[in-house]
Homo-oligomer: A and B are copies of this chain.
């Protein structure tokens, strides 16, 4: 049980009033934004900040701090008003809301704003991220911090919220408190459930939450709710607060057509007057507990610190090597955490799970949740590896996209890529995952072809910031490399080359092995080709590709992926120029002739080699293409 400050009603009233005034002021100055969505939650946040939140604004990364997530990110005028009241920003900065160059963007963004942990603005994501932080507090760092998540009622329509709730109750996350700002009104009108608190309550209870229903403008009820919430054990809490959108002034209170709309200057002036005028009171937010002297947080890296790569002497599936590597990472580093969406026996994440059960969390079949939890763990310094079939990561694309906006870190692995998985059919075949992951800002996209390179690249992923992705293969593939080989991010490997290479074959994963077969066949026919292992799809090894283009003229890219957005497009992009940064001349690159061999028709079921043949991505097709090129 935690100690809480006594509630000072007057102070809290004053604070809530200021939040409303500041939300109006900042959005009117911005000419856009969401004052009314802020006003509905002002009382909730005023009580939280005065009596319950334990946070050191001078040390936002301090491990003992509570975490506060505005899942309804559009209510950030309220969040920023809280920062002002905490003395973290001044009024001038508050008034820079949404202006170019201001760190107070239209939706909260971490790093830029040090007190924000995760970017929100795509609704329904905050709770999953909070689950990641709460899992960390309860099971990994074992710290008593609370994770407070302010939820909008519109976003309760997103299934991801219920995935998060199910997970939170499964893992008995009593350190997670959701605060539902049930203001009845969505963007375009009433929500599906309106003010039906009972309906939300029944749903949340059925999903394992301890539910507290209150009037979200009654300070005493709010205080009682938090007081009860922090004492709940063994369950996450959802406080359902009935509120009015735009509460505080008749103009906006519970009125239609006030979503995402600032008051005019005149309306704002009137409203501020009604609310009692501008102010700049500050309050001292309760301090989190002091870190014990010589505290050994598990967040600090322990373990051997030495990654011992697994050994291979026979063909192995890269997905299995991924599992081996995770286990080796787990031994080396105590901050490695693994999550999987109920397919750990296929992705081989189970190898880690069996060795380090205390650092493995089962997400069941909920990929959005999985990515959200991984990003949440990342905010607490954990190196989270999340895996499922690559095809099913498409389920989490919005979460991954938001992860990049969060400047978050997560290591994703998608197994069972491409038509080469065989009989399961196209629903299980990722054929768009590279396109999807390349288009994530700042992402790293890796696609190893053998067990040795997989094991090395998983190690590299551990050290990467941002969103990284590894594509693995279902089938066993031959070993291509010796154990002392290195695989720098942004590099490639030239497997075969000679002075008289007529064509360069470029591939990664299972099609690289088809290229090797094609190389051998062509060689037997007296045709030399170069073969490049493009294990680092993003960043890509421009230099090696340019050399190959210059020396061989023709680049043939072979991939078990749709022609859009995959290896072929990545190679083409390596030859595109960029605009000049300081007015210098753009040097035209010599564009090679590029042939893209990719999957162009919807595959069905069959044996891997049958499907690769049918898709035209197997060795005979590569040989035929090279010969057609050379006329």
Question: Which residues of A are interface residues toward B (Cβ below 8 A)?
Answer: 30-33, 73, 98-107, 109, 112, 119-124, 154-155, 157-163, 166, 170, 186-188, 191-192, 199, 202-203, 205-207, 342-346, 350, 362, 364-369, 391-392, 394-395, 397-398, 401-402, 404-405, 407, 422-428, 431-432, 435-436, 438-442, 538, 554, 562-566, 568-570, 572-573, 575-580, 583-586, 588-589, 591-597, 600, 602, 604-607, 610-611, 614, 616, 621, 624-625, 628-629, 631
Contact = CB atoms under 8 A, between A and B. Distances in A.
Contacts of A344: 188
Contacts of A441: 431, 562, 602
A18 to B, nearest CB: 23
24 contacts: A31-B423, A32-B422, A101-B606, A102-B604, A102-B605, A119-B426, A158-B395, A162-B162, A186-B342, A202-B202, A205-B206, A394-B397, A405-B426, A432-B436, A439-B566, A441-B602, A563-B573, A564-B570, A564-B573, A578-B600, A583-B628, A586-B595, A586-B629, A589-B593
Nearest to A257: B345
A596 B624 contact: no
B439 A121 contact: no
A611 B77 CA distance: 21
Contact of A579 (B103, B368, B398, B621): B621
A123 B191 contact: no
A202 B621 CA distance: 56
Given A405-B602, A583-B628, 8 more contacts: A30-B423, A32-B424, A122-B391, A122-B427, A186-B365, A203-B207, A576-B595, A579-B621
A402 B103 CA distance: 39
Contacts of A345: 187-188
Nearest to A574: B572
- A-B interface, 3 closest residue pairs, ranked by CB to CB distance from nearest: A159-B159, A121-B427, A100-B606
Contacts of A154: 342, 364-365
Given A188-B345, A191-B364, A192-B170, A423 B605 contact: no
A597 B578 CA distance: 6
Contact of A625 (B157, B405, B580): B580
A566 B592 CA distance: 21
Given A100-B604, A188-B350, A564 B438 contact: yes
B397 A436 contact: yes
A597 B369 CA distance: 35
A236 to B, nearest CB: 14
A405 B605 CA distance: 13
Contacts of A206: 199, 202-203, 205-206
Given A364-B154, A427-B402, A565 B568 contact: no
B595 A593 contact: no
B99 A188 contact: no
A28 to B, nearest CB: 13
A537 to B, nearest CB: 10
B170 A604 contact: no
Given A423-B30, A596-B573, A628 B109 contact: no
A160 B392 CA distance: 13
B160 A586 contact: no
B157 A579 contact: no
Contact of A158 (B123, B157, B366, B610): B366
A369 B493 CA distance: 44
A202 to B, nearest CB: 4
Which of A123, A350, A578, A605 gathers the greatest number of chain B CB atoms within 10 Å? Answer: A605
A417 to B, nearest CB: 13
Given A100-B614, A605-B100, A395 B398 contact: yes
A482 to B, nearest CB: 33
Contacts of A366: 157-159
A568 B579 contact: no
A575 to B, nearest CB: 8
A395 B199 CA distance: 25
Contact of A606 (B99, B188, B431, B566): B99
A192 B611 CA distance: 35
A307 B191 CA distance: 33
A370 to B, nearest CB: 10
Given A100-B611, A366-B157, A565-B439, A404 B602 contact: yes
A369 B30 CA distance: 34
B605 A121 contact: no
A572 to B, nearest CB: 4
Contacts of A368: 159
A98 B616 CA distance: 20
Contacts of A438: 435, 564-565
Contact of A565 (B32, B397, B405, B564): B564
Nearest to A558: B579
A451 B455 CA distance: 53
A202 B201 CA distance: 12
Nearest to A591: B591
Contact of A163 (B159, B166, B407): B159
Given A98-B423, A585-B628, A568 B577 contact: no
B428 A432 contact: no
A575 B423 CA distance: 34
Contacts of A395: 122, 158, 397-398
